[in-house]
Amino acid sequence: MSDNDDSEVELCSLLESHLPKSSIRYRLINLVSQSKKSKPIFYKNKNTTKSTTVKIQHFISILQDKVIFFGIEVFVYIILDKDETSRVLFISKADTTGLFDKDKTQDKINVNIGELVKDIMKYLLRIPLSYYLDDVIVKLEKDKNIKHEFSFSNKFNNNRYVTSTERSLRILIERLHQNKDINKPLKTEGNNRISHLKLEYNDNHVVDKICLFTRPERQYLFPYSYKNTKKHLLNGEQLLKWWCNIINEVSLTEFDNKEIKLTIPGSEFTTTERYLPNKTNWSIGDIFHDNNHKDSNHELAINAIPLFPDDPKGRFFEHLVVENRIKKISIAQFWLELSIRQEFRLGVVVGVIGVKGNLHKKNFSNTNELIKLNNKNLKKLKTIIIEQDYSNDIDEIEKIYNYINCLSINHIFKEIHGKKLGKLEKQNHQANTIIPQTNDLNGLVKRKLSSPTVNNLNGLVKRRKKPIL
């Protein structure tokens, strides 16, 4: 798709070029949570400027017919400051099930997961900020001056109880009558009230960032999928190089004025340098503090390093809180101590990759493809997908699709028609392509005959010299 037109970027269109051509269809699940005001990902000290953080979760999964073979979970954080707006894409997990069947493709070819990840990241980066910020869920603070009111759903929806005593008595009475339709009271005014707000942001200065942590595991999203022989498991070095290549291509095509950083906790400079795809755009360090400033490594780690869900760095921060060292450890000391923790001491290469810059002015993603769910329903749907046994036979795995399809969620599956050709099919396609012939009129043109050329052999004849008289 050209970036010069006004058309929107569709994820289905991006993915179809990387999915092998097949008689069966592919399906896309493209879920997103409601935008919600959240705790900051950076620790706030007294000198920190006031900011607002909005959190969004994306979950994308791809099926071959009725069988899931890939999934990725990404968290988006939008940080609204007075002078700057930042969007942080944290790639939480990406995983395969090992259940893609290349025998069902026309040319018996496998799917390239790396190409799918690249296009998914490009799609997410191009989602306009207004999509996230036009409707943000905000919990309002408790107002102690307002009395709490509760309403019961179902049968007693119209009954109000001002005091907790009245409420408790009513529940006891109904229990005595064995009424099982009583539900927990729904909180209304004065207690954690919910509001939907449209948040404004500084459109003139938006900085986009990508963050991820690489560590090899047998499974990330799909339980027992490692038992499938077709699943391709990578070691630490392979996984880091794989992600570095993906981030390198995405940053080159999507970012201006970029800086790309890599940190391998506990590794020497020369060791880390070997993993850099190139030294033009890449350097060693992280994107959250000025690596070139001589005093930057002495900055407190808690003020510079973000906290993400299910993040080893976050678990180490919790450890520092218990030891009462959270406000004492510097960035340099943080990375050093992190490298000697149990989950890093097993001889496995782990890496922290970050990109920071401004996005190219390109056409936006089509947000109509996104299925927006509230956090509760998204969690339920994810649970259906990621808490199954993926080592089971295909018939059992297909039940996941059937169960999701029974849910009352409109258009949850988007169909994709694969277009990728294998080498054999490309050759056949080229052979069957008819090349238009040009009319040759040379045979109809009468040309004037040229005079025959006579070979001049004078230069080759040796003549006998005449005697001098």
400 plus 411 within the same structural domain? yes
327 plus 233 within the same structural domain? yes
Beta strands in 252-391 (DSSP E): 255-263, 282-284, 351-359, 371-373
> Would you say residue 440 has pLDDT above 80?
no
pLDDT band at 367 (very low <50, low <70, confident <90, very high): very high
Query: So what's the pLDDT on residue 327?
Result: 87
> Would you say residue 89 has pLDDT above 70?
yes
Can you tell me the mean pLDDT for 352-368? 91
The answer to whether 380 and 403 have CB atoms below 8 angstroms apart is: no
60 plus 105 within the same structural domain? yes
- Residue-wise pLDDT tens digits, 225-267: 999 999 999 999 999 999 999 999 999 999 988 999 999 988 8
Q: Examine residue 214 and state whether it is found in any structural domain, yes or no.
A: yes
174 plus 256 within the same structural domain? no
Taken in order 413, 419, 425, 428, the sign of the CA dihedral is positive
Of the candidates 346, 98, 310, the one whose C-alpha atom is nearest the C-alpha of residue 224 is 98
Q: For residue 465, what is the enclosing H or E element?
A: none
**Left, alpha or beta for 255 (phi > 0: left; psi -120 to 50: alpha)?**
beta
The answer to whether 357 and 259 have CB atoms below 8 angstroms apart is: yes
228 plus 322 within the same structural domain? yes
Where among 192, 207, 229 does a domain terminate?
192
The DSSP letter of residue 250 is H
Q: Examine residue 161 and state whether it is found in any structural domain, yes or no.
A: yes
Most confident of 27-31, 312-316, 337-341, 401-405: 27-31
The answer to whether 84 and 95 have CB atoms below 8 angstroms apart is: no
> Would you say residue 31 has pLDDT above 70?
yes
317 plus 373 within the same structural domain? yes
- For the ranges 36-45, 67-76, 351-360, which has the lowest average pLDDT? 36-45
pLDDT band at 190 (very low <50, low <70, confident <90, very high): very low
The answer to whether 279 and 250 have CB atoms below 8 angstroms apart is: no
235 plus 157 within the same structural domain? no
101 plus 247 within the same structural domain? yes
pLDDT band at 139 (very low <50, low <70, confident <90, very high): confident
Q: Examine residue 253 and state whether it is found in any structural domain, yes or no.
A: yes
- For the ranges 207-216, 225-234, 394-403, which has the lowest average pLDDT? 394-403
173 plus 254 within the same structural domain? no
Query: So what's the pLDDT on residue 156?
Result: 38
pLDDT band at 75 (very low <50, low <70, confident <90, very high): very high
Query: So what's the pLDDT on residue 451?
Result: 55
Task: Phi first, then psi: give them for residue 119, nearest 5 degrees.
Answer: -70, -30
Q: Examine residue 435 and state whether it is found in any structural domain, yes or no.
A: no
Query: So what's the pLDDT on residue 185?
Result: 41
> Would you say residue 128 has pLDDT above 70?
yes
The CA distance from 75 to 308, in Å, is 9
Query: So what's the pLDDT on residue 410?
Result: 80
- For the ranges 49-63, 170-184, 247-261, 367-381, which has the lowest average pLDDT? 170-184
pLDDT band at 380 (very low <50, low <70, confident <90, very high): very high
Higher pLDDT, 424 or 203: 203
Q: Examine residue 255 and state whether it is found in any structural domain, yes or no.
A: yes
232 plus 337 within the same structural domain? yes
Q: Examine residue 429 and state whether it is found in any structural domain, yes or no.
A: no
At 208 the three-state DSSP class reads strand
Q: Examine residue 432 and state whether it is found in any structural domain, yes or no.
A: no
- For the ranges 14-28, 161-175, 194-208, which has the lowest average pLDDT? 161-175
52 plus 125 within the same structural domain? yes
| Mean pLDDT estimate for the chain | 82
> Would you say residue 298 has pLDDT above 80?
no
> Would you say residue 152 has pLDDT above 50?
no
Strands 206-214 and 85-96: what pairing?
Answer: parallel
The answer to whether 281 and 256 have CB atoms below 8 angstroms apart is: no
Task: Phi first, then psi: give them for residue 17, nearest 5 degrees.
Answer: -75, -15
Domain that includes residue 169, residue range:
141-192
Helices (H) then strands (E): counts for the chain? 12, 16
Can you tell me the mean pLDDT for 100-106? 93
Higher pLDDT, 175 or 149: 175
The DSSP letter of residue 343 is G
131 plus 160 within the same structural domain? no
Can you tell me the mean pLDDT for 312-329? 87
Where among 192, 213, 234 does a domain terminate?
192
CA distances from 241 to 114, 234, 259, 287 (A): 11, 10, 18, 19
Query: So what's the pLDDT on residue 405?
Result: 86
> Would you say residue 148 has pLDDT above 50?
no
CA distances from 134 to 34, 128, 131, 355, 381 (A): 11, 10, 6, 26, 24
The number of folded domains in the chain is 2
The CA distance from 165 to 179, in Å, is 19
The answer to whether 16 and 369 have CB atoms below 8 angstroms apart is: no
Q: Examine residue 113 and state whether it is found in any structural domain, yes or no.
A: yes
- Residue-wise pLDDT tens digits, 322-349: 889 988 899 888 988 888 876 666 678 9
Where among 128, 158, 192 does a domain terminate?
192
Note if the pTM is more than 0.75. Answer: yes
The answer to whether 206 and 356 have CB atoms below 8 angstroms apart is: no
